[in-house]
């Protein structure tokens, strides 16, 4: 018998704030979290804006001894996990820790600390490189530290599939529970790569918006005058739980995760298949796994990066999968407010999708001023909209042509 998987806890850190409640309020109000980059001198960069996490106090969530030993992306992951545990009222008994696992995703891992210690090596020599450097930057230390903190002794994995990493992590965690290999999974992802090296690399690719004078208007997915994505940072962590276990402990149940798909474009190292074939394959696989028809879907939280090629390819993919129904469903990109959290995007956007279902509200795509004739769907322009949602999907696509789609529905007993 296939087991049902529900979301019982959520925690997040994003450019819109710390905590789920703060994020949801800002999202519904169409607030932009984009501003000038303040972490380092950006005067020599063509792009000088980003979605920085502001006002976050890592010491509120991370042991003081660990703060300097761990990269910022792990701080974000631990903070989000702690919030998710509190939200879920989940306590792991030593007797069942083997049935609880953790899978998270990250696109680049600890790039902040990597750049820091590269400077230490060059300027002060190898003897001054910290013994905590390597464990402090590796991507699997996020789920590793979450496991150490909460006594999780089951499956423990880190997934690195670029900007699809968090969604792949959630999808694989879902499969562990669905197939009976675990009862609870802590999952999502984190990213913190607003650094000189990452910014320089993305600038060289001409992938970023250069709307430096209007940072809050720079991320404009599907809009005619979009000129690139805006780099962001943060984390989103969800508690997935087998339904009967969740009911037995009277856990809050936010939504049910019912489908997961993954695919590859097999096309290019960074550009998407221009016809969206890989993305379409992925969405079809997720709908098949969920056992629903395309016309059942009411809302898509799009990958929607605000780049010319990605938005157009996703638009084509949606129309290929949904046909005429594509013009009846709502599509919005919350990246218009958060920027692109890269490997952390899927975790944050899965939470936004769950909240959309729970509250019957479609988040807007802000900065939508002029329609692109080639992107012709309902993108919930500029203002949130009330609507009961029966089924919703969340898309994440990454460099190398890797794709992930999650399908959620409201929980029904």
Angle at 296 between CA 284 and CA 349, to 5 degrees: 70
pLDDT given at position 235: 98
DSSP bridge partners of 239: 9, 186
Q: Which of 130, 230, 180 is nearest to 4 (CA)?
A: 180
Q: Average pLDDT of 267-278?
A: 95
Closest Cα to residue 215, out of 225, 230, 201? Answer: 230
* Contact assessment for residue 202 and residue 313, using Cβ atoms and an 8 Å cutoff: no
Which residues are known catalytic residues?
Answer: 163, 303, 340
Distance from C-alpha of 14 to C-alpha of 255, rounded to nearest angstrom:
21
Q: What letter does residue 132 receive in the DSSP assignment?
A: T
Strands 35-36, 5-14: pairing kind:
unpaired
Half-sphere exposure of 18 (CA within 13 A, CB side): 17
pLDDT tens for each residue of 314-363: 999 999 999 999 999 999 999 999 999 999 999 999 999 999 999 999 99
* Four-CA torsion 23, 172, 93, 150, nearest 10 degrees: -50
Q: How many residues does the chain have?
A: 413
Classify burial at 22, counting beta carbons within 10 Å of its beta carbon; exposed 0-12, middle 13-18, buried 19 or more. middle
**pLDDT tens digits, one per residue of 129-153:** 999 999 999 999 999 999 999 999 9
Measured CA to CA, the distance from residue 269 to residue 291 in angstroms comes to: 32
pTM for the predicted model, two decimal places: 0.97
Return the pLDDT at 247.
97
* Per-residue pLDDT tens over the stretch 159-204: 999 999 999 999 999 999 999 999 999 999 999 999 999 999 999 9
Q: How far apart are the first and last CA of the chain?
A: 17
Closest-CA residue to 257 (of 55, 405, 35)? 405
Chain-wide mean pLDDT for the chain? 97
Which string of DSSP letters, residue by residue, matches 69-105?
TS-HHHHHHHHHHHHHHHHHT----GGGGGGEEEEEE
Whole-angstrom Cα distance, residue 229 to residue 333? 12
pLDDT for residue 96: 84
Q: What is the pLDDT of residues 54-92, one digit of tens each?
A: 999 999 999 988 899 999 999 999 999 999 999 999 999
For residues 263, 290, 184, 161, the Cα torsion angle rounded to the nearest 10 degrees is: 10
Q: Is the dihedral of CA 182, 21, 188, 192 positive or negative?
A: negative
The dihedral built from the CA positions of residue 281, 283, 289 and 295, taken in this order, carries a sign that is: negative
Phi and psi, residue 258, nearest 5°: -120, -5
Predicted pLDDT of residue 1: 62
Cross-strand pairs, 411: none
The full set of domains in the chain, from first to last, is: 5-248 (3.40.47.10), 261-409 (3.40.47.10)
Letter string b/e over residues 196-205, b meaning 16 or more CB atoms within 10 A of that residue's CB? bebbeebbee
The pLDDT tens digits for 386-408 are 999 999 999 999 999 999 999 99
Q: How confident is the model at residue 119 (pLDDT cuts 50, 70, 90)?
A: very high
Strands 361-362 and 392-398: unpaired
Question: Which pair of tokens denotes residue 120?
Answer: 């230490």
């Amino acid at each position: 018998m296939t087991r049902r998987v529900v979301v019982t806890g959520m925690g997040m850190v994003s450019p819109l704030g710390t905590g789920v409640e703060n994020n949801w309020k800002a999202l519904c109000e169409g607030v932009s979290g984009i501003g000038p980059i303040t972490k380092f001198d950006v005067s020599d960069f063509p792009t000088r804006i980003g979605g920085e996490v502001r006002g976050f106090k890592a010491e509120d969530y991370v042991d003081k001894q660990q703060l300097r030993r761990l990269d910022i992306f792990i701080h974000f992951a631990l903070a989000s996990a702690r919030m998710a545990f509190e939200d879920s009222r989940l306590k792991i008994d030593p007797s069942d820790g083997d049935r609880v696992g953790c899978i998270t995703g990250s696109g680049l891992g600890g790039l902040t600390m990597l750049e820091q210690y590269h400077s230490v090596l060059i300027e002060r020599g190898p003897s001054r490189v910290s013994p905590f450097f390597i464990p402090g930057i590796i991507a699997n230390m996020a789920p590793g530290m979450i496991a150490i903190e909460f006594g999780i002794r089951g499956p423990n994995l880190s997934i690195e599939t670029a900007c699809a990493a968090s969604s792949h992590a959630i999808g694989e965690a879902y499969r562990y529970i669905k197939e009976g290999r675990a009862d609870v999974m802590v999952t999502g992802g984190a990213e913190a790569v607003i650094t000189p090296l990452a910014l320089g690399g993305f600038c060289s690719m001409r992938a970023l918006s250069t709307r430096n004078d209007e940072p809050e208007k720079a991320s404009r997915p599907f809009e005619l005058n979009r000129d690139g994505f805006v780099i962001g940072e943060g984390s989103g962590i969800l508690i997935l739980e087998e339904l009967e276990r969740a009911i037995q402990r009277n856990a809050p149940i936010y939504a049910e995760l019912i489908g997961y798909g993954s695919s590859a474009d097999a096309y290019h190292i960074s550009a998407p298949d221009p016809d969206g074939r890989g993305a379409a394959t992925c969405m079809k696989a997720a709908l098949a796994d969920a056992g629903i028809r395309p016309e059942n879907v009411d809302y898509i939280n799009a990958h929607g990066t605000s780049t010319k090629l990605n938005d157009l390819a996703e638009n084509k993919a949606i129309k290929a999968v949904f046909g005429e129904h594509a013009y009846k469903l709502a599509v919005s990109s919350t990246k218009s407010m958060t920027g692109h959290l890269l490997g952390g995007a899927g975790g944050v956007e899965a939470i936004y999708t769950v909240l959309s279902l729970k509250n019957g509200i479609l988040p807007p795509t802000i900065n939508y001023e002029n329609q692109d004739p080639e992107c012709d769907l309902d993108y919930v322009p500029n203002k949130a909209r009330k609507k009961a949602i029966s089924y919703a999907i969340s898309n994440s696509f990454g460099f190398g042509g890797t794709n992930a789609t999650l399908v959620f529905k409201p929980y029904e007993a």
